Amino acid sequence: MQLLLDVDCDIQEFVFPAIMERLLFKPCLVSRSFAALVCFIMLLCGEAQANEQFDRWVRQFRVVAIKSGIKPVVFDNSFSGVTFDPTVIPKARNQPEFVRPVWSYLDNAVSTRRVENGRQMAKHWKNWLDVIEAQYGVSRYTVLAIWGIETSYGKVLGNKKIVKSTIRSLASLAFADKKRRKYARKQLIASLKIIQNGDVRAKDMTGSWAGAMGHTQFIPTTYLAYAVDITGDGKRDVWHSIPDALASTAAYLNRHGWETGKTWGYEVRLPRGFNYELGYREQSKTLQKWQSLGIRRASGIAFPRPMDEARLYVPAGSSGPAFLLLKNFRVIKRYNNANAYALAVGHLSDRIRGDGDFIQRWYRKAAPLTASEKVSLQLLLKKRGYAVGKADGKIGPRSRRAIRDYQSRQGMIPDGYASKLLLKRLQ
């Protein structure tokens, strides 16, 4: 859930952007000092109104929670002093693993410092990692990588600007975010059950804007289903017990099909003239079959198990590394359903173990397009006579075929990758 990557926003911009603009940038109507005072008063009124509506929602939700088995005293204590948090809404619109170029995401997620800290943690927690790896069969380096990416090995859990009350965050999402309302209500009930079970006090239940909790960022329903008490103290404590948090992560991956002794995937080189469309399909072949198409490991080392199934992944077309992804990559995605996240976890785990960086480099000028830029690209291709289908900002098979046709005619590598460089060339 990327607690480490959360960035707080300005509540004024969220609540009253139009008012702020009119009052602060039209001095002929009102002095700036008076404008600031008016804005402050209106902001307070806006907050008061929002909290009044939020309080009404809490009272209604209390009935739902009690019907779901939550004791009234648990609900009341958990919601004591809880107010609406408007900052969670913009965070929900800007998750970094979905909006950043993959190399930018990897720069932060797999930094040199994070690799070094991960190696230190591997030594420091070796005895517990031995136990966890033996019990669940999940690579210690993968578990450490998830811990590192989620909370920088617990470092950010002490940052009060980032860490939020789980009850407040989920209640705010359930109250104000239509897209996540059903999710947030379900997680909120689960959070109250965790408190009722005695694993953690409401004031100590903290996490991200989306309700992901503790060192390795478990959402409440996942916690209820998979968290473990490996220390044997009677509590499944992912907030304060690092062994419990790491073991819970391993237990989760194990239950979702982790294949012991196997990696997440391999960096590979593609032969000249390769059909890049194969890299956009969710199509699995044996490594042996991929080899027959001319694909080789970037390191030059042979695949250890040629009959393993893998799919090809080309996140930046010919402008970056290519990968053959094994089943464990899909298992990591069960933790966070983003290719960039799973790639970061896999790569960080390799780096902590002692491997080097990717051999092939990213061509950073070939950044991916925004949704509006994709529409512009499709319209420009359509204007030149290429069949892209509907210009809807979605780069599917027809649009990629049109891109490849254009690239071939321009003497470019026909990889079908929609980049800012390609858009600039068309313009």
pLDDT in tens, 335-390: 999 999 999 999 999 999 999 999 999 999 999 999 999 999 999 999 999 999 88
pLDDT at 140 over 50: yes
Of 23-32, 95-104, 165-174, highest mean pLDDT: 165-174
Q: Is the dihedral of CA 92, 97, 100, 106 positive or negative?
A: positive
- How many other CB atoms sit within 10 Å of the CB of residue 221? 17
Which pLDDT belongs to residue 51? 80
Per DSSP (E only), the strands in 237-353 are 265-269, 284-286, 296-297, 309-313, 322-325
Confidence of residue 100 (pLDDT cuts 50, 70, 90): confident
pLDDT at 159 over 90: no
pLDDT at 293 over 70: yes
Structure token pair of residue 29: 């109507």
Which pLDDT belongs to residue 401? 95
Least confident of 76-90, 96-110, 133-147, 339-353: 96-110
Confidence of residue 93 (pLDDT cuts 50, 70, 90): low
**Cβ-contact 369, 377 below 8 angstroms:** yes
Radius of gyration of the chain (CA): 25
pLDDT at 23 over 70: no
Q: 407: closest CA among 417, 395, 393?
A: 417
Least confident of 71-85, 87-101, 287-301, 413-427: 87-101
Q: Hey, where are the domains in the chain?
A: 265-325, 371-426
Least confident of 115-119, 249-253, 367-371: 367-371
Q: How far apart are CA 98 and CA 93, in angstroms?
A: 10
Confidence of residue 79 (pLDDT cuts 50, 70, 90): very high
| Start-to-end CA span in the chain (Å) | 37
Per DSSP (E only), the strands in 288-397 are 296-297, 309-313, 322-325
Confidence of residue 183 (pLDDT cuts 50, 70, 90): very high
Which pLDDT belongs to residue 32? 42
What's the CA angle centered on 253, arms 166 and 317, to 5 degrees? 95
Q: How far apart are CA 31 and CA 23, in angstroms?
A: 9
Confidence of residue 238 (pLDDT cuts 50, 70, 90): very high
Which pLDDT belongs to residue 421? 95
Least confident of 40-44, 207-211, 320-324: 40-44
- Give me the amino acid identity at 86: P
Please compute the mean of the pLDDT values over residues 323-333 and round it to a whole number: 98
Percent of the chain with pLDDT over 90: 80
Q: What share of the chain is helix, strand, coil (3-state, %, to 5)?
A: 55, 5, 40
Sequence-ordered list of residues with C-beta below 8 angstroms from that of 218, at least 6 positions apart, any chain: 212, 226, 227, 238, 248, 249, 252
pLDDT at 34 over 50: no
Please compute the mean of the pLDDT values over residues 262-288 and round it to a whole number: 95
H helix intervals, 125-165: 126-136, 140-151
Least confident of 20-24, 47-51, 324-328, 422-426: 20-24
Q: What H or E segment, with its residue span, contains residue 207?
A: strand 206-207
Please compute the mean of the pLDDT values over residues 310-325 and round it to a whole number: 97
pLDDT at 43 over 80: no
Which pLDDT belongs to residue 196? 97
Which pLDDT belongs to residue 219? 96
Least confident of 69-73, 175-179, 263-267, 417-421: 175-179
Confidence of residue 177 (pLDDT cuts 50, 70, 90): confident
